[in-house]
Amino acid sequence: MKKMLIGAIASMTMFATTAFADYTFVVPQKPGGGTAVWTAIVAGELEKFLDGEKIKIQHIPGGRSLLGFNKWHQGLQDNEKTVMVSNGGNALKYLLDPAAEYNYGEYTSIGMMNLTIVMGRKIGASENNIRIAADPARLPEVMAMMMLVCGPDGVADHYNKCYNDNVTWVKGMQQGAGRLAYIRGELNHTRENPAAYKKHVAKDEGSEVWMTHGLLAADGSHSDDPNHPGKQFEMLYEARWGSAPSGAFYDGYKLSKSFRDGMQKALWIKKDSPDAAKLIAALTEMSKNPESIKAIAKKVGNYDWAIGADGDNNRDNILSFTTESALKAMLQFQTDSLGYESIYKENIVND
């Protein structure tokens, strides 16, 4: 009897919490993760522009962010007030992981934050002895490094050899451990988002910015990051090798960085949801409010928003990069060089 009573109270508490919320934001991580922290801040600010409506955050961790997105795709989205919060990891998994069942093309974008990644190194560190902390999500960084170090050729085998000759890919280092190893000097190259770079690397006088990926523009091109002018990969490549980067390997790089960074943090709702317009309007207001933007920037950095139709447009641009040659080049490098098991997903190819 006692057990039943306790169970009933616990269940009622949970249902009551859900019942009082107007919107539910599904986060594919447990509390404390990067996307979870971002969501808590954005949802808190967004609520201010929703005319008293409340947002509940539902964490569905598991599968390294896969499980939550899969569950939302499979049925949670049918509740039209349920919004999915996806991250850059979800985007790369969409390209390479057969367990990813979701499809970005099927949803309406509420909004997304676009960011770039800054690659730094110890001053004087040799480009032929790159020691960097490993992570499957760092694929675009290593692809950029290999193109810049080994120049044009186009075929993945060339860059595979370049990788084997020049890179020590140190696996098992989480982000925090990697930062410490870089400060200690065990690693001589690093990569961070702009806010983290400023906090952890920029004040080290022995470090310098090597390059950035640039920012995804509305027309699908990438522009120089104004915070680190002249350091965009494409610019450095052209200056060193005399021509703009091109070929399947470059297309693979562009595909991976656009998916990961262009949709680094994104809010999705079921297509034709009647609540989309209200959420988009609220997000637009929030993005124009200096206090809200300041609060978000303080915690996660100041990035551009693509809201509503702009978000859909961004998504469509990014999806258009998914060509067979680009996907295969990216996949081959991920598997042969970095050593991570991945699968070619024919069904997501555009051409």
Partner 1 sequence: MLESYAIVLILGCIYGFFIGLVPVAGATVGLIAIYGFIGYFTDPYMLVVFTTAIVVTSSIGDSFAAVVMNIPGAGSAAATMVDGFPMTRRGESARALSAAISTSWVNGVFWGIAVFFFLPYYTKIVLYFGSIEMFTFLVFAMTCVVFISSKYFVRGALALVGGITVGLIGMNPDDGVYRMMNFIPTIVDGELEWTKWLYLADGVNMIPVMAGVLAFPELLGALRTQVETVKINADNIKAQLIQGIKDSWKYKIDGARGGLIGAFVGLVPGIGGGIADWFAYSQTVAASSNSKDEIPVGKGNVRGVIGCEGANNAQKATSYVPTILFGIPGASFEVIIMGLFMYVGLELGTIDVLQDEKFFDVLLSSYLWSLFIILPVAYGFIRYAVYITNIPFKYYFWPILASLVYSSTQQNMFEEYIVLGVCMIAGLIMKHLKFSRISFLIGFILSARIEASWIQFNTFGYGWQDIVFSPLPCLFAVLSIAALIWGLFYNKARIDFV
Interface positions with partner 1 (CB under 8 A): 2-3, 6, 10, 14, 30-32, 37, 58-64, 66-67, 70, 99, 134, 136, 168-177, 179-181, 183-184, 186, 199-200, 339-342
Give the shortest CB-312-to-partner 1 separation in angstroms.
29
Give the shortest CB-28-to-partner 1 separation in angstroms.
10
Cα separation, 240 vs 235, in Å, equals 9
Cα separation, 131 vs 186, in Å, equals 8
At 142, list the tokens. 């290593």
Q: Cα separations (Å) of 163 from 34, 48, 133, 171, 288?
A: 29, 49, 14, 15, 44
Give the shortest CB-251-to-partner 1 separation in angstroms.
22
- What residue type is assigned to position 1 of the chain? M
Give the shortest CB-218-to-partner 1 separation in angstroms.
33
- The residue written with tokens 């690093």 in the block is 190
- Whichever of 73 and 278 has its CB closer to partner 1, that residue is 73
- Whichever of 64 and 345 has its CB closer to partner 1, that residue is 64
Cα separation, 104 vs 73, in Å, equals 10
- Whichever of 30 and 288 has its CB closer to partner 1, that residue is 30
Estimate to the nearest angstrom the gap between the alpha carbon of 240 and the chain centroid.
28
Among 116, 119, 85, smallest CA distance to 102 is for 85
Q: Cα separations (Å) of 328 from 96, 222, 251?
A: 10, 22, 10
- Whichever of 6 and 309 has its CB closer to partner 1, that residue is 6
Output the CA torsion sign for 310, 312, 318, 321. Answer: negative
Give the shortest CB-174-to-partner 1 separation in angstroms.
8
Provide the terminal-to-terminal Cα distance of the chain, rounded to the nearest Å.
62
Count CB-CB contacts under 10 A for residue 192: 20
Question: 204 φ, ψ to 5°?
Answer: -80, 110
- Whichever of 175 and 350 has its CB closer to partner 1, that residue is 175
Give the shortest CB-199-to-partner 1 separation in angstroms.
8
Give the shortest CB-3-to-partner 1 separation in angstroms.
7
- Whichever of 31 and 274 has its CB closer to partner 1, that residue is 31
- Whichever of 176 and 242 has its CB closer to partner 1, that residue is 176
